[in-house]
Structures are given as C-alpha cells and as structure tokens.
Amino acid sequence: MWYPELAPKSASQPASPVDRSADVRWFEAVVQTIEDLVPRVEVAEPGVAYVPVGGAVRYYGGEEVLAEKIAGAIPPGARLGLADGPFAARQAAERAGENEPFIVEDTASFLRDLEVDALGPGELAETFRWLGVTTLGALARLPREAIASRFGVEGLTAHRLAAGEDRVPLPRSIPPEYAVESCHYEEPLELAEQVAFLTRNLAAQLLERLAREGMSPFRVMVEVEAADGTVRQRTWRSTDPFTEHALAERVWWQVRAWIDTPGGIPGGVVRLRLDPSDLSGEGRQLPLLEPVERDGATTWQEVTIDRHDAERALSRAQALVGPDAVLQAVPKGGRMPHEQVEWYPWGDRPPEVTTDAPWPGKVPPPSPALASPTPPPIEVEWDGGMPVRIRLGTRWETVLSWSGPWRMVGRWWEGEGPADRYQIVTSVGAVLCVVKDGRAYLAGVYD
C-alpha cells in the first residue's frame, strides 16, 4: 500500500532527510486502520506499508474483496498492489490507479516485463542498461554466478528480485537474546527528549550486538509499554539492512507518532524494546555462504538458515578460541605444503594471491594432510645416504621405499642454506622430510 504524496517512487532518489514524524503520525492512523482488517502490517517508510494477506484473503473470500475493503477503509490517495513478495507488490502499487487496486495474477511474468529501473536508483540499474539488459526478465535470464561474481551481493540481490525470489522472512523465530530492551518502571520517561535519546541508544546497541555476530536486520519490531500497561507494537522493514541512523530515526518517528496520537502513551514510557527479525549475514564478507540451486529449484531459504546458524556457530567458536584460531585459506604458489597456503581470519576478505606462476620445486599432489610451518626434528637412520629406519612416535619403522633427495636451494638472501626433501614410505604410511645441515625434520605426514 503506497501513498505517492508521502513516499517517492522507488525508482527515484530518496527524499532528503527531513523530520518526517508528522508523516509517520498521520500514517500510523492509516496502518492502525488496516490492522483492524489484517494483522501484522509492516511499515517500510511513511507512506509505504506491506500487508501480508495470505490468511486474510481466505477470511474475506478473495483478493479483490480484501483489496477493496482496505481501499475503502483508508484515506483516499493510496495505491494498492497485490503480488507475491514485497518487491513485486510495491511495483504493482506504483502501477495501480487511485481506487483501483492492481492485482498481479502471475508475478513472474509481471516482473519479467519491468524495466531494470525498478531495482531502484543507482549505478547498478544504469550499468545493466548500458550493458543492454533493460528488463528484469533479461536480467533474470543471465546466469546467477556471473552476476554474483561481477556485481557482488548487490547484483545477486537484484538478480533474485528479478527472478521473483523476494526476501521472505525466516520461518523460525530469531533468538530472543538478540532483542534489546530498556526498562524504566521506577521513573517513566515523559519528556520527548528522554525518549529520543533512549531510541538512539537502543538502536545503536542492537546493531552493535548483531554486528558482532556478523548480521544486520531487515525488520525490527518496536514495542513500547506505557505506564498504564498499554503495549504498542509496530514492525518496520527495509529493503537493505538497517543502518544505525536509519533505524534510530524510524524508531523515534514511531514512538513519537504513538505519543502524539490520541490515547498516546499514558503516563510515559516504562519499557522500550527492539526486536530484530529477518537477519542478514551480509554485514560480514562471507562468500562461502552463497545460496545454491539444486535440481532447478532454489534452496535459498534453507541456505539462509544454514548461513545464520553457521555464522553463529563460528562466532561462538571464535569467542572460545580467539579470532586467530578460526581461519580460512586460499591456495598460493610455493614449494613446501605450508607455503602453498595463505591463511586469513574467518570473516575477513580473502587475500589476493597469485597462483599461476609455475613452481618447479613444488611437492606434487597428493599433498600431506598434516603439515607444519615449523617442522620439528625427526630421527632418521641412514646407510650410505639412503634412509633405512625412521622413528615415528615411540616406534622405529623400517623404510620400505623413498623418493629424493630433491634439492631445494634456500633463500640465500635470507641466509637460508640448501636443503633436501625426501618422501619416505613405511608400512604405516608416508611422511615428507626435509634434511638440512645433516639434520632431518618432519615437514608433513601423508595422513
């Protein structure tokens, strides 16, 4: 549901930041009117609200009946669009006439014909246009991996929207520990300034807490309890994860709208709570957590759950063992196994390394599954330059076969002397040894 007078078209530049509490106050009354018909309305901005109609359609007996009912109840000037998912619904609303709800029967084909500008203002749509991709249908036909690698998360989101895979809320509840709450039962907050200060603080707290887990919210429920026990709730949603400023602003608008409505918040605010939902992990650079397609169907939702679970699990592990002990790695050029791995802390951007240079001295695959950057000494018995026995743990094992020595010229500029490498096979497996200045070291185990 969209009031063009209040909110700009999604494809135009966002309105310059002004205090919009008056708009919110007016709009709050509209939202309450709709909520009398359909529960759980979500506000995107003053002038734009999303109404999940699934159950209500059955209750009122049809989409048209419901749309007309809503249109009849709210003040004139609204545009109503009905489609699968908030993105398509918003686009439909922008194409609806006044008092003429636009009900999209086939969301996929509706989206297909839209111009790429529907994705919103910014370089992305311009770039697509410049590349000759002018409609969402044309965009959706491009391979998703290609879009993802060229345009990143933003491109991926655009591709999903174009393909009709709008963000749907997670089917499970967000752990309550993510919510932030502030209680003032002793001294209810009656001054607007106090409440404004509190909203800013809480918004900052919430985003900081989520950011620590590498997440940010798409939806936040604002809940206020008045001194007389009245509880008011309203959910705000955003196409992009909320920033601190955006969230603080919306919470404040909302609370102020309640304060200013008749009946308001009698006796002042005794409790303010922000409950996030529909979290995004995109706050953290996690290319490892991309959704995949299976059997032609998108398992996006499922993967999203995995992604949050995995992120939480890894964050918890990180808290236990420290950030230096939760690692990822990329391959790089090198001779020894440990030199062929570039480590970086989980959550960081992968380092850029070159692997295309040939490494003639490289230990060929299969690589040892266990390798050490600082090889410990190991005892090897030699006979005329040939390894005969090797001590593994407490036992001496007979050498069955070996390869080597492979000469490695050290980094003479760093004062390293030459060393020899051997692959040594015993009846319990194979090891990679480095012999330097007459001493043997265990560089890797082919475990």
Partner 1 sequence: MKLLQPGRITEVYGLTGMGMTRLGLGLLAEPSRRAPVVALDVKGWLSPLAAWEMGVDSSRLVIVRCPDPERWPQVAAALIDGVQAVYAEVPAGVGEQHLRRLAALARARRTGVALRPLGDALPSGVAHLRLWAKEVRWEGVDHGHGQLRRRYLVVEVSGRGVAGMTKTMEMVDDGTDVMRVVSGVGAEERQPARVAG
Least spacing, CB of residue 184 vs partner 1, in Å: 35
CB nearer to partner 1: give 193 or 352: 352
CB nearer to partner 1: give 266 or 373: 373
Residue 368 CB contacts under 8 Å (≥ 6 apart), including other chains: 337, 431, 432, 443, 444, 445, 446, 447
CB nearer to partner 1: give 331 or 410: 331
Positive or negative torsion for Cα 293, 298, 302, 307: positive
CB nearer to partner 1: give 32 or 149: 149
Q: For residue 429, which of 400, 405, 386 has the smallest C-alpha distance? A: 400
Residue 31 CB contacts under 8 Å (≥ 6 apart), including other chains: 41, 43, 49, 234
Beta strands 439-445 and 370-371, pairing class: antiparallel
Task: Please give the span between the terminal C-alpha atoms of the chain, in angstroms, as a whole number.
Answer: 62
The rounded distance, in Å, linking the Cα atoms of 74 and 41 is 14
Least spacing, CB of residue 373 vs partner 1, in Å: 9
CB nearer to partner 1: give 65 or 330: 330
Least spacing, CB of residue 264 vs partner 1, in Å: 43
Write the burial class of residue 288 (CB in 10 Å: 0-12 exposed, 13-18 middle, 19+ buried).
exposed
Residue 188 CB contacts under 8 Å (≥ 6 apart), including other chains: 226, 227, 267, 268, 269, 270
Least spacing, CB of residue 294 vs partner 1, in Å: 8
CB nearer to partner 1: give 246 or 425: 425
Computed on alpha carbons and rounded to an integer, the radius of gyration of the chain in Å comes to 31
Least spacing, CB of residue 369 vs partner 1, in Å: 4
CB nearer to partner 1: give 122 or 373: 373
What is the binding site for partner 1 (CB under 8 A)?
Answer: 287-289, 292, 294, 299, 303, 306-307, 309-314, 316-317, 320-321, 325-331, 337-338, 340-341, 346, 350, 364-372, 386, 392-393, 400-405, 423, 425-431, 444-447
The rounded distance, in Å, linking the Cα atoms of 276 and 219 is 6
Least spacing, CB of residue 446 vs partner 1, in Å: 7
Least spacing, CB of residue 155 vs partner 1, in Å: 17
